[in-house]
Amino acid sequence: MKDKRTAVVGAGWFGRAHIRNYSQISKLVAICDANKENLELVKGLYDNINVYTNVDDMIKSEDIDAASVVTPPSSIPTISRKFAEKGIDVLMEKPMALKLSDLEQFKEFTNCRIMPGFIELYNPVFDKLLENLPEIGEIITVASKRIGLYPKRDWNMGVILDLSIHDIYLQERILGEVKNVIGMVNRFVDNKHEDAAFILLDFGKAKGSIESNWYTPTKFRRMYVHGVNGTIEINFISQTFNFRKGLNLLGDNPATKDETYSPLKLEEPLKREILNFLYDKDKDIKVTLDDGIRALKIALEVIEKAK
């Protein structure tokens, strides 16, 4: 298969992760960032790659098949539309937009692939969870806990759009349509954006909870799925999987048994995501624009209800 010609807009810390992966699995031809210091960090690391401070100049000058937009969310829709209007496939990093209307406008484009950057769907440990769900029987609850570092206070958003949205789309993938939401938040620094959030998702018979904060100085990414026959716990960082089930539950000495699996080699979810975006057929794409719209709608509803 011929390598696609690609570009990345945004050369910050996560943009550089995109750049590294694109350089390995495609023909990366251009990088764009308005911050010249960011460009200085990357341009000496890669051969035969042009750098730009203006997206319009890059699109006009380069032959591009696909691009990632890894910028502050407020600018993602405007930049991504420039690619879509030229028929260039675009990977929009989460949360893709800060307003639902800014994201829904992309439904008009049918001549290119528009995909959300929902990276945790590509974590191998989540694949293992989905494969083993039948083992725990009917699901009762799903609980997610996500703590992050370095609040994006200059991005005009809070922890829900930064972190909680990951677990919204993950729980949706497990349990289906969200029927109702409840959100509670804390704002420690100012009254504008939430620093910690506790979210309840109603999926009908099963319920989901999401605990997120970016104020505690640590990093934590775990999910617990509780069924009638046992519990699955996964760690998104270490990619470890634990299955806990009951033994002798009706006897005199009921107990639990844990089976834990650790990967022989950690797989990078971002690389799997970009490969899916670039080279897989439409029927094999794990996440679509509609998925992104739905997750953003739920996140914004939580924010609105928690005001």
| Interval 213-256: pLDDT, tens | 998 889 999 999 999 999 999 999 999 999 998 777 777 777 78
pLDDT of residue 189: 84
Q: Where in the chain is the domain with CATH 3.30.360.10?
A: 121-305
- Would you say 100 and 296 are in contact if contact means Cβ atoms under 8 Å apart? yes
The fold for domain 5-117 equals Rossmann fold (3.40.50)
Average pLDDT value over all residues in the chain: 94
Residues of the chain with pLDDT under 50: none
The fold for domain 121-305 equals Dihydrodipicolinate Reductase; domain 2 (3.30.360)
> Hey, what amino acid is at 131?
E
pLDDT of residue 1: 62
Distances (CA, A) of 162 to 61, 76, 253, 275: 33, 14, 45, 24
The pTM for the full model equals: 0.95
Q: Which two tokens stand for residue 157?
A: 């958003």
Q: Where in the chain is the domain with CATH 3.40.50.720?
A: 5-117
